[in-house]
């Protein structure tokens, strides 16, 4: 996946904005019934995914002088 992102960044030259709206829900499972595995999966997708995209975006903007 990282190679795909890098290819797109190079294709367009730089990135000026970051829009991140992908995510997943807990499938309407009550907290008392939510498994640790499903909780971790949701965090990996919703928190880690956003973090890694935002970090990469910031580093690209720094290199571009902004």
Profile the chain (66 residues) by mean pLDDT over runs of 10 residues.
Answer: 66 79 74 89 86 89 83
The total number of structural domains that make up the chain: 1
Give the domain range for residue 16.
2-63
pTM, to two decimals: 0.64
Long-range pairs of 45-54 with CB within 8 A, sequence gap ≥ 24:
49/20, 49/22, 49/23, 50/20, 53/18, 53/20, 54/18, 54/20
What pLDDT shows up at residue 44?
Answer: 86
């Amino acid at each position: 996946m990282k190679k795909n992102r890098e290819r797109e960044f190079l294709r367009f030259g730089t990135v000026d904005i970051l829009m991140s709206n992908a995510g997943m829900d807990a499938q309407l499972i009550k907290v008392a019934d939510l498994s640790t595995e499903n909780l971790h999966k949701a965090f990996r997708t919703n928190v880690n995914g956003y973090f890694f995209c935002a970090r990469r975006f910031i580093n690209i903007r720094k290199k571009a002088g902004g």
